[in-house]
Amino acid sequence: MSYSATTPALGRVILYVKDIGKAGAFYQTHFGLRVASEERGWLDLASPSGGCRIALHQASKGQKSGSAVKLVFAVRDVEAFKKRAAGLGLKFGPVHVIPGSHEYANAKDPAGNSISISTRPV
């Protein structure tokens, strides 16, 4: 990843979760992310195809899981991805079609964070 002082690159999104192992397994199983680094209270996940990393950080006892952030995963075919995900236990909601633009469907991760699959170009 390249970046400079004037044009920083988005390197990772941090999600605070109660169960790092469960959340990590979710993103590895359903989105093919791989462990890039791991230490106590922290799991850094990367996609083999590149892009922004997702870091899972141990939430404190009083910290609420789930956030106002939505993670959007780019896919070529929303229905095909939904079908594969359902076979692995992940249920997405209905496919929303934006005529002439893109399709998307929404779900939640084990920590309550919003996720989406979308054909919107990146």
Above pLDDT 70, what percent of the chain? 91
pTM: 0.80
Rounded distance between C-alpha atoms, residue 31 and residue 29, angstroms: 6
* Per-residue pLDDT reduced to its tens digit, 87-122: 999 999 999 999 999 999 999 999 999 999 999 877
Calculate the dihedral angle through the C-alpha atoms of 77, 79, 81, 83, rounding to the nearest 10 degrees: -150
> How many CB atoms sit inside 10 A of residue 28's CB?
14
Enclosing H/E stretch for 96: strand 96-98
* Per-residue pLDDT reduced to its tens digit, 62-91: 877 676 788 999 999 999 999 999 999 999
Answer whether residue 5 shows pLDDT above 60: no
Domains in the chain (CATH in brackets) are: 12-59+66-118 (3.10.180.10)
Which residues are registered as beta bridge partners of 104? 96, 118
Q: Which candidate, 43, 41, 44, places its Cα nearest to that of 60?
A: 41
